[in-house]
Amino acid sequence: MSLSKALEAFDTLTTRKGRGNDYLGWLDLPTDNNRPEQDAMKKIAAEWKLKAQVVVVIGIGGTYLGSKTALEALLHPFANELALNQGPKILFAGQNLSQDYMAELMDLLEEKEYAAIVISKSGTTTEPAIAFRIIKNHLETKYGKEEAATRVIAVTDKSRGALKEVASKEGYRTFVIPDDVGGRYSVLTPVGLLPMAVAGVNIDSMIQGAAKMREICMERSGNNIAIQYAALRNLLYGKGKTIEILVNFNPKLQYFAEWWKQLFGESEGKEGKGIFPASVNFTSDLHSMGQYIQEGERIMFETVLDVKHPAREYSVGNDPADVDGLNFLAGMEVEQVNKKARAGTKLAHIDGGVPNILLEAERLDAFNLGALFYFFEFACGVSAYMLGINPFDQPGVEDYKQNMFALLGKPGYEELAEKLKERL
């Protein structure tokens, strides 16, 4: 039953007849291969590699999580310490409202040669707008307005909005966020690809991986892995499994889980429906969350994201004293130990009443990461349509914003402010 319902949802998605169908531009992004745009990104990457030690990416939610995911997954985590010349160090701003974080970031920018990528459809989202106001002023003070303009790129609407207006006035180079692509589905647009390119990620390979996955996902078949995944998670949801835990055994995938949580949380969590997306990093979290997963409420299932082939080789050594009793592992690769930990965990959790779904990627590179991005976007669209909801809006996000504006004293919110103050 779940599979037939998933196929119906697949038809709704691919025929573009469902709710929110004006935000389906992401479906074709891997095949709408804009070579001039990609070449322009790589040209900027080459330019900034010579003039910037740091590039600050200003954005929140989908406008920063995709690129953050790719950088964490694909770059050497100790590149700075090893002086590996991958590209400028990418840092993020506008993803929070922490005064300490902003002040400490500015301490660094005062000492470094830097540039900025500001990403916003409107230019008025509070967190990135505040960060951009601060960084723009600092850039112009540090370099002068003319040079500062060469160090800012705006990724925004093609024709309207506050950021587009500023970019036109100041002469910033710009890239367009397509009208038919929402923030959490925008990783394969300049929103995600430009920061990746500047950091040294092979964006051509990423798009190729997404294109390959698109071929797989667009097949109307019960063997389609995106349809299978959507069907399985909805089947489990119908059996009372209301929490899905995305599990990885590779710390490079920690931010992939953060991207995935926004994708499914904003797409499905509405109208009193939706599976709650959570995540853990194993084996680390087996020493913290493992107890609850094993023996807590039976309201969850796990989707394990496994990377079959590590990029490096490293083996356990031999110790003549064998004080820790681990010589039986001598000569074994660390990843072999990790795989056995995964297998043991799977069996223990299944025995404890936690269903497991396994998703495997061949390796962690730009091609496979692009495929994973597209796979989950497509599966999310199918899964949400199975719930009968619009996967592409987020009306609940606006509630906190209205309250925040009122409490901050934004003009036009006076009546709401009075009501809220009575409740505080």
* The pLDDT value given to residue 336: 95
170 is catalytic: no
* The pLDDT value given to residue 65: 95
Question: Cα separations (Å) of 287 from 111, 256, 292, 302?
Answer: 40, 21, 10, 17
**Residues written for the chain:** 424
- Write down the catalytic residue from 244, 266, 302, 335: 266
Bond preceding residue 283 cis, omega within 30 of 0: yes
Look at 2-16, 213-227, 373-387, 408-422 and tell me which has the smallest mean pLDDT: 408-422
Task: List the structure tokens of 263.
Answer: 């994708």
Show the DSSP H helices in 218-365 as ranges: 225-238, 254-268, 290-295, 334-351
* The pLDDT value given to residue 79: 85
- Write down the catalytic residue from 17, 81, 169, 287: 287
pLDDT of residue 2 exceeding 90, the answer is: no
What are 58's strand-pairing partners? 93, 118
* More confident of the two residues 424 and 211: 211
Dihedrals phi, psi of 254, to nearest 5 degrees: -60, -45
* The pLDDT value given to residue 420: 82
* The pLDDT value given to residue 237: 97
* The pLDDT value given to residue 1: 61
287 is catalytic: yes
For 109-148, write each residue's pLDDT tens digit.
999 999 999 999 988 899 999 999 999 999 999 999 999 9
Please give the full DSSP string across 156-184, using - where no structure is assigned. Answer: E-SS-SHHHHHHHHHT-EEEEPPTT--GG
* The pLDDT value given to residue 416: 85
Percent of the chain predicted with pLDDT > 70: 100
Look at 78-92, 135-149, 253-267, 376-390 and tell me which has the smallest mean pLDDT: 78-92
Residue 393 CB neighbour total at 10 angstroms: 16
* More confident of the two residues 249 and 424: 249
Which pLDDT band, with edges at 50, 70 and 90, does 40 fall under?
Answer: very high
pLDDT of residue 33 exceeding 80, the answer is: no
Please give the full DSSP string across 122-162, using - where no structure is assigned. Answer: SS--HHHHHHHHHHHHHHHHHH-HHHHHHTEEEEE-SS-SH
Percent of the chain predicted with pLDDT > 90: 87
Which pLDDT band, with edges at 50, 70 and 90, does 396 fall under?
Answer: confident
Look at 36-40, 69-73, 356-360, 418-422 and tell me which has the smallest mean pLDDT: 418-422
76 is catalytic: no
Which pLDDT band, with edges at 50, 70 and 90, does 404 fall under?
Answer: confident
* Integer Rg of the chain from CA: 23
Task: List the structure tokens of 318.
Answer: 């031999």
Question: What is the pTM (predicted TM-score) of this model?
Answer: 0.95
Task: List the structure tokens of 85.
Answer: 């010349």
* The pLDDT value given to residue 400: 83
- Write down the catalytic residue from 76, 239, 273, 401: 401
Check: CB of residue 371 under 8 Å from CB of residue 213: yes
Residue with tokens 């949380």: 265
**Residue 412: partners with Cβ closer than 8 Å, 6 or more residues away:** none
Mean pLDDT rounded to a whole number for the chain: 94
Distance (Å, whole) CA 364 – CA 252: 9
Distance (Å, whole) CA 173 – CA 406: 34
For 318-328, write each residue's pLDDT tens digit.
999 999 999 99
pLDDT of residue 288 exceeding 80, the answer is: yes
Check: CB of residue 191 under 8 Å from CB of residue 59: yes
For 163-187, write each residue's pLDDT tens digit.
999 999 999 999 999 999 999 999 9
